[in-house]
């Protein structure tokens, strides 16, 4: 009997264990089809550390043949409130006209085309054959101001000669705007300047088309649209005023670097404000011959980067930021990036956004693809 009792008890114990196991299985929730947390690619803590996407999509192909994902451009966005920057990879006279037309901007009255005439003998200024169709389309007068650092464009007579030698007088009328001195523009909400000095003939024009060769710069880090409407439109004394951060009208040397960057933004805002709060001025940047040196250098360093394309916007901060973003993701950019960072050049963009000259965020629209 004892053996039979033991066997019965063992059987009952096994049955109890089996029933408990089945009950536990029936109490498990049905699968939701989602990945269990332990198998998730990122935990919630990890997800919070991921960089935020700009929201931009698509890609562009540069003039040099490189493909760049728009999502890699730091300040690109799909926010419809952001200003639009147009891009085209071709760097031709026809492409200049195409990207200008994309702006859907109609100049009024006398039209000035602001560009750099370029320091001899071998600077990378925009060639007349590249811009001729656009300049003549808007019936524009090419305008410049004298330099504050000497060189072949420090006096009006010499500067007109350079404009002729470089082929600009053959495609349009040319005016050195400070040949009769300066006029003063107020700076509203500036960081270091309360007034800006441009060429006396600045007010003779109702609309401005700003054509800039985007490149590096020995003092500003880089030069684009903002530099072209600040230093570029500054009279000789205005250039010194900006370079010195508003402390000298006779020498461009020795000012604090951040104050110089801030003064460029301030001066640019005074120009934009004067022109209908930006309504009567638009900007085109050409990203070719991407030297670390400016067109004010007659013997610039050879570029390490391939050409990228042409960009245009009604917002100079957005335009320059888009160009910087493209440089930052391009091959061979080390010397250009070092030049910008060593001069704290991005502070010009920071300052421009802070005072309301424009927005660093932008929507990129690619043409011709």
Cα separation, 305 vs 289, in Å, equals 8
Cα separation, 260 vs 241, in Å, equals 9
Provide the pLDDT for residue 369: 72
**Full-model pTM:** 0.85
The SS3 call for residue 274 is helix
Cα separation, 267 vs 241, in Å, equals 10
Per-residue pLDDT of the chain (369 residues; tens, 9 = 90+): 444 544 444 545 444 444 444 443 333 333 333 333 333 222 333 333 323 333 466 999 999 999 999 999 999 999 999 999 999 999 999 999 999 999 999 999 999 999 999 999 999 999 999 999 999 999 999 999 999 988 999 999 999 999 999 999 999 999 999 999 999 999 999 999 999 999 999 999 999 999 999 999 999 999 999 999 999 999 999 999 999 999 999 999 989 999 999 999 999 999 999 999 999 999 999 999 999 999 999 999 999 999 999 999 999 999 999 999 999 999 999 999 999 999 999 999 999 999 999 999 999 999 987
Q: Which residue in 264, 271, 226 sits closest to 112, CA to CA?
A: 271
Q: Which residue in 117, 120, 185 sits closest to 146, CA to CA?
A: 117
Identify the helix (H) or strand (E) that includes residue 67. Answer: strand 67-69
Cα separation, 313 vs 103, in Å, equals 7
The SS3 call for residue 321 is helix
How would you list the strands of the sheet with 207-213, edge to edge?
A: 174-176, 141-144, 111-114, 207-213, 281-287, 309-313, 84-88, 363-366
Beta carbons of 300 and 306 less than 8 angstroms apart: no
Per the listing, tokens 């999502």 go with 71
Q: Is the dihedral of CA 282, 287, 289, 294 positive or negative?
A: positive
User: What is the maximum alpha-carbon separation in the chain?
Assistant: 130
Cα separation, 292 vs 312, in Å, equals 21
Provide the pLDDT for residue 56: 61
Q: Which residue in 199, 48, 202 sits closest to 110, CA to CA?
A: 202
């Amino acid at each position: 009997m004892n053996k039979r009792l033991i066997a019965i008890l063992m059987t009952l114990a096994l049955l109890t264990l089996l029933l408990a196991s089945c009950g536990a299985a029936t109490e498990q929730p049905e699968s939701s089809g989602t990945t269990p947390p332990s198998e998730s690619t990122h935990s919630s803590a990890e997800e919070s550390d991921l960089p935020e996407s700009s929201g931009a999509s698509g890609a562009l192909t540069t003039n040099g043949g490189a493909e760049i994902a728009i999502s890699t451009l730091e300040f690109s966005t799909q926010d419809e409130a952001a200003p639009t920057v147009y891009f085209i990879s071709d760097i031709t006279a026809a492409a200049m006209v195409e990207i200008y037309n994309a702006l859907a901007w109609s100049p009024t009255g006398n039209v000035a085309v602001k560009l750099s005439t370029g320091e001899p003998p071998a600077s990378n200024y925009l060639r007349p054959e590249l811009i001729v169709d656009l300049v003549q389309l808007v019936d524009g007068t090419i305008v410049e101001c004298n330099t504050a650092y000497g060189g072949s464009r420090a006096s009006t007579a010499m500067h007109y000669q350079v404009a002729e030698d470089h082929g600009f007088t053959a495609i349009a009328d040319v005016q050195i705007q400070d040949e009769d001195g300066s006029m003063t523009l107020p700076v509203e909400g500036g960081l270091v300047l309360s007034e800006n000095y441009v060429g006396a003939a600045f007010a003779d024009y109702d609309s401005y088309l700003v054509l800039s060769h985007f490149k590096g710069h020995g003092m500003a880090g880089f030069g684009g649209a903002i530099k072209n409407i600040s230093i570029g439109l500054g009279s000789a004394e205005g250039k010194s005023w900006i370079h010195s951060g508003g402390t000298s009208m006779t020498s461009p040397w020795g000012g604090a670097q951040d104050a110089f960057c801030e003064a460029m933004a301030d001066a640019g805002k005074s120009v934009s404000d004067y022109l209908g709060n930006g309504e009567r001025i638009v900007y085109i940047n050409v990203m070719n011959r991407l030297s670390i040196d400016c067109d004010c250098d007659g013997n610039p360093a050879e570029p390490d980067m391939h050409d990228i394309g042409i960009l245009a916007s009604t917002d100079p901060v957005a335009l320059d930021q888009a160009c910087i973003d493209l440089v930052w993701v391009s091959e061979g950019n080390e010397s250009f990036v070092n030049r910008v960072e060593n001069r704290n050049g991005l502070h010009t963009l920071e300052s421009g956004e802070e005072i309301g000259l424009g927005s660093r965020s932008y929507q990129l629209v690619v043409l011709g693809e």
